[in-house]
Amino acid sequence: MTEQTISSLAVLEKKARLSGSSNKARRKALEHYFSRGGIIRVDLASRKPGAWPRLVYPTKLRLRALIRQKDSLKSNYAKKKKSWEKKLGEAELYGAKHALKKFSSPLYWKHWVKVLRDPDYRADAEKVRLPMRLVADPRWQPMIRMFIEDVEYRKQLTETVQHSIVYKKDKKLARYATELQDFRKGESTRKLKELDKKLAEIESDINAYRELIKWANE
């Protein structure tokens, strides 16, 4: 029987008596293809010893179908990568963006007027480290507004920050905001590394399939 099913380059070289230096691009493609669990079927009687035998399987039709599948997967991962790049950019720019936006908030200026005129308010703001840099952030604005405008709320919040076990290690209201952005940056960076790895693998798969198509055309 001249047709053989093969799952490693070493076996192919032995059975086909291939020259060690012949067609390095094809060898590289086969090494990758076999490492991914691929198998081939060749007709060993179709070539002279030392020459490449005829590739029976995978067929050109099968290889083109695999390339289409990988192209679709590649497109999907590329979209995900773009989304995570956007999230990373937003997390990295969060502080700078709000550092500028705070100047357009009336609350920011109201806070500083009270700091200058009201020693008791100034002391409370310092105790809780009031995050005025985030005054334009909708998530923090209601709390900051209440702190500025409602004395009872301000005193309760100051008392909580000073004595609650939640703030025992760090008496800073915006600690969560800082930790959240750090988490988002870390998670985005991790996801991007994963996607880059997957995209590189897919590209290697496609390149291997294209090289096998060249072989199938011979």
Mean pLDDT of the chain: 86
Sequence ranges of the domains in the chain: 3-78, 79-192
| Burial class of 169 by CB neighbour count within 10 A (0 to 12, 13 to 18, 19+) | exposed
Q: How far apart are CA 166 and CA 174, in angstroms?
A: 13
Return the structure tokens found at 79. 């979209």
Q: Name the percent of the chain lying above pLDDT 70.
A: 87
Closest CA to 123 of 135, 115, 131: 115
- Is the pTM here over 0.75, yes or no? no
- How many CB atoms lie under 10 A from the CB of residue 30? 22
pLDDT of residue 94: 81
Q: How far apart are CA 216 and CA 10, in angstroms?
A: 20
pLDDT in tens, 74-97: 999 999 999 999 988 888 888 788
Return the structure tokens found at 43. 């007709």
pLDDT of residue 164: 61
- How many CB atoms lie under 10 A from the CB of residue 206? 18
pLDDT of residue 37: 92
Find out whether 102 and 133 touch, Cβ atoms under 8 Å. yes
Q: Find all residues with CB under 8 Å of 205, minimum gap 6, and list them.
A: 32, 36, 66, 70
Average pLDDT, stretch 158-185?
A: 66
Confidence of residue 20 (pLDDT cuts 50, 70, 90): low
Residue 47 has pLDDT above 80, yes or no: no
| Burial class of 202 by CB neighbour count within 10 A (0 to 12, 13 to 18, 19+) | buried
SS3 state at 96? helix
